[in-house]
Structure 1
Amino acid sequence: MRNFVHYTAGQAQLETGWYVGLMSGTSLDGVDAVLARFASGGAAQQVATGAHVHLPFAPALVETFRRLNAPGPDELHQAALAEVALAQVYAEATQMLLARARLPASEVVAIGAHGQTVRHQPQGAQAQRYTIQLNNPAWLAEQTGIAVVADFRRRDMAAGGQGAPLASGFHRAVFSRAGEGVAILNLGGIANFSLMAADGAVLGFDCGPANTLMDGWCRRHTGQPYDADGRWAAQGRVLPQLLAALLRDPFFAQPAPKSTGLDRFNLDWLQQHLQAFPAAEPVDMQATLAELTAVSCAQAFSRYARGQRVIGVCGGGAYNHYLLERLRVHVGPQVSVVTTAEWGVPPEQVEACAFAWLARQCVLGLPGNLPAVTQARGPRVLGAIYPA
């Protein structure tokens, strides 16, 4: 860490300088890149974003990522090629970001690059637990001329944690309010909560599927990448028996903290349940999948909330108005459901900002995980640094 500080910048610049956050999540819609800097002030840490870029994935790369979420032939070769392809997208997004902000690469302290999760097995004996995020941070550092911080999750798992969710530390730093309870709900491919109590305690966990099933079903039956505003789901009717069957998956009853991924909740998982409902109309299935996300999130909130009366929603699902309305129905009128835009961070930028923040934590030698969230034995500095 001393070498990194010595060769890049002074302490003040490391603390207040620009960081790039790169996030490609389980929704598989592409990369979000954010230019961010951080400064403390008041009850919460202040974040300022200089620019944001979204760069979609090529369909062939998306298909490769989907295949790699399950066992298949020639996995090592396919994964190695996908890592370079992903790093290329990361590099393009970073360069577009800097051009938009008119900022030279020399002004960026580091890039926080999460990578693409293709396997996540956080349960079982310690020696059998692992998480895999495809990435090629050395290639990215060469292409951008900027130091890269990557591999955030495995140190937490080595310390006995689940390696997820990691954004809760950022959520606490930026969105917590002294003496108030605040909940952040990320609706990406998978849904996850950060519940911040008024006394400062934080609980974070995955709730289950969010956009991954809805997007996959929409793509299969309409050819569209996602159900814009939930308009298609709004035309259908919820199938109560199917919804009940889906909610019987053991993950929903498992106590928090917990985490999951696409290797569990995917269209093959859904297809197994559909065998008992062969006559289900596709539009009714879409409505039922939206209800599954709304109900599972509401149930998790009801089970674990400690005085939180406002939910700030981020991720792509924050723009699915039908889904948010169903969530409002299930959490009840006593809970306000808003988006994080009301607190100054647009929903599509939150997760990328989190990895810019995690990169900064690593560079400064500060912990990035919350043991109460991941179940790690203690706070850990997360990530490995690849100098420019």
Structure 2
Amino acid sequence: MSALRVIGLMSGTSYDAIDAAAAELVLDGDTLVLTPLGLISTAYDDDLRAALAGALPPAATDLATVCRLDTRIGQAFAAAAVRADLELCDGRAGLIASHGQTVYHWTEAGRVHGTLQIGEPAWIAEATGRPVVSGFRTRDVAAGGQGAPLVSVVDVMWLRGRPGVPVALNLGGIGNVTVASDGAGGGPLAFDTGPGNALIDAAVQEPAAREALGGAYSMDVDGALAARGRVRPPLLRRLLDEPYYARPAPKTTGKELFHLPYLRAALGAFGPLPVEDVVATLTRLTARTVADAVRPFGATEVIASGGGTRNPVLMEWLREELGGGGGVPLRTSDELGLPSDAKEAYAFAVLGWLTAHGLPGTVPSCTGARRASVLGSVTPGGPGLRLPEPLTSAPGRLTIHANGNSRPFTAR
């Protein structure tokens, strides 16, 4: 069948930038072949990022603010899509897949009741003239699922056939894993492990910390603060008492739980601590909770992606927690041909491709849904709605084809 160029748009729980990854996707037998065409990462402007941060839980907001954010984020996503089409696809993209910006994930007693991603897709369709698939998570929630981690279907296809028990790890604001098998012939499983960078970012952005650091940090760049600090065991034990970690999978979480007031409550039992020590302790927390999450499944390798992979201290401590040189190997998705900075955006390009062909985009054992569902809604692009012919069966595997003519990966 003919190849389709798809642009995946993603802004994660760190809400620092919009990633636009372009891929050429073609079905070869039962294998979906993905050729990366490049990534453009565009930061939210300061005003929009501040407005978004001010509206997220646990802050109170109003519908006027939500409407404005929905519009402005939709326009920002549209601008990113236009650039990606022109610069990465030579103006020949056939489909846009937009994750949007998650602003709330409604969970109670381990069950997800609703989820909200904003960034109105009509702005993207109007600007690009291409059909847009969006609103991926809600259908899985309606089918009884967690609505996350949706990248699990891509991970399962991608890791199928690798020996042992490979585990895909995403280190964004929230960490999540996909266990491709349970080591005993069972089905795959996926869940959020807890905070990835969320609490580290919160600690750095806390007003007193910003003052102490001279306002120079919005994140722990290259793990510099953690490297200068020391882990405080009593604080680490207090943080590890969080009940979420003991809940069975599938499970999801977000900044509705792991936010600055949560951190302040944990710190309240201790005297003033240097920000470097707080960041070091939170970095160890992320490494510990990820390792604790994958250990029961007998993981034979962990393949990491996401912004956390750029933190060498976090990666070093995660290797330690996984057993060091004689333990579970830790590598990045770059080693398997999938750029770690762009993996989630590419995953949503694949999810858009599946939806456009009428194919399910979930693995029920990973999200906890009653059934696999075709995800999202389609917003027409130019006049009429032209989608590929539907397929009757989904691809079983995903392979990455490194095209020598691929564009470089850029961040602007």
Among all aligned residue pairs of Structure 1 and Structure 2, give the percentage whose two residues are the same amino acid.
Answer: 36
2:57 maps to 1:70: yes
Query: Which residue is 2:143 aligned to?
Result: 159
How far apart are the structure 2 equivalents of 1:125 and 1:350?
Answer: 27
Structure 1 residue 59 displacement after superposition: 2.1
Which piece of structure 1 moves more, 222-231 or 194-203? Answer: 194-203
Query: Which residue is 1:323 aligned to?
Result: 314
How far apart are the structure 1 equivalents of 2:31 and 2:25?
Answer: 11
Q: Determine which of 100, 122, 129 is the counterpart of 1:138.
A: 122
Structure 1 residue 281 displacement after superposition: 1.3
- TM-score scaled to structure 1, two decimals? 0.91
Query: Which residue is 1:387 aligned to?
Result: 380
2:261 maps to 1:268: yes
How far apart are the structure 2 equivalents of 1:240 and 1:277?
Answer: 12
How far apart are the structure 2 equivalents of 1:362 and 1:309?
Answer: 32
Q: Determine which of 240, 243, 260 is the counterpart of 2:236.
A: 243
Q: Determine which of 264, 287, 294 is the counterpart of 1:294.
A: 287
CA separation of 1:114 and 1:324: change in aligned 2, threshold 3 A? same
How far apart are the structure 1 equivalents of 2:237 and 2:30?
Answer: 42
Query: Which residue is 1:230 aligned to?
Result: 223
Letter in 2 for 1:375: G
Structure 1 residue 64 displacement after superposition: 2.3
2:359 maps to 1:374: no
CA separation of 1:273 and 1:242: change in aligned 2, threshold 3 A? same
How far apart are the structure 2 equivalents of 1:102 and 1:41?
Answer: 21
- TM-score scaled to structure 2, two decimals? 0.86
SS in 1 for 2:147: coil
CA separation of 1:230 and 1:158: change in aligned 2, threshold 3 A? same
Q: Deviations over 1:91-115 (max 9, x none)?
A: 12112212322511xx222111011
Do the aligned residues in 2 keep the contact of 1:34 with 1:352 (CA within 8 Å)? yes
How far apart are the structure 2 equivalents of 1:41 and 1:174?
Answer: 14
Do the aligned residues in 2 keep the contact of 1:229 with 1:320 (CA within 8 Å)? yes
Do the aligned residues in 1 keep the contact of 2:85 with 2:93 (CA within 8 Å)? no
Do the aligned residues in 2 keep the contact of 1:242 with 1:273 (CA within 8 Å)? yes
Do the aligned residues in 2 keep the contact of 1:120 with 1:263 (CA within 8 Å)? yes
Letter in 1 for 2:205: R
Q: Determine which of 86, 97, 117 is the counterpart of 1:99.
A: 86
Unmatched runs of 5 consecutive residues or more in structure 2: 382-412
Q: Determine which of 13, 23, 26 is the counterpart of 1:36.
A: 23
Which piece of structure 1 moves more, 170-179 or 136-145? Answer: 170-179
How far apart are the structure 2 equivalents of 1:86 and 1:33?
Answer: 14
Structure 1 residue 178 displacement after superposition: 4.5
Letter in 2 for 1:122: T
Q: Deviations over 1:202-241 (max 9, x none)?
A: 1100000011111222233233122122121011110101
Structure 1 residue 37 displacement after superposition: 2.1
SS in 2 for 1:160: coil
Structure with greater helix percent: 1
SS in 2 for 1:366: coil
Structure 1 residue 180 displacement after superposition: 3.6
CA separation of 1:102 and 1:35: change in aligned 2, threshold 3 A? closer
Aligned residues: 370
SS in 1 for 2:252: coil
Runs of 4+ in 1 over 6 A off after TM superposition: none
2:74 maps to 1:87: yes
Letter in 1 for 2:106: Q
